[in-house]
Amino acid sequence: MADKGKMDQAKGKAKEAVGKIADNDRMKAEGKMDQAKGKAKEAVADTAERTRAAKDTMRDKHR
């Protein structure tokens, strides 16, 4: 999912750049939203990964 987040961020940056060149406020805003969505996906994936690691650590300590 982190890879998907990176893709959303890249797509958003490209869309925002095209929006700036075309002077299209809607496209710029969509690009910023895509970037934010990508960052959120990365944060969720990172949190899930950290949670799994902590859970594994706790399980190993109780054995």
Q: What is the pLDDT of residue 63?
A: 66
Output the tens digit of pLDDT for each of the chain's 63 residues: 668 899 999 999 999 999 999 999 999 999 999 999 999 999 999 999 999 988 888 887 776
CA gap 56, 35 in Å, rounded = 32
Question: How is residue 16 written in tokens?
Answer: 């925002």
Q: Full-prediction pTM beyond 0.85?
A: no
Token couple for 29: 């805003």
pLDDT at 4: 83
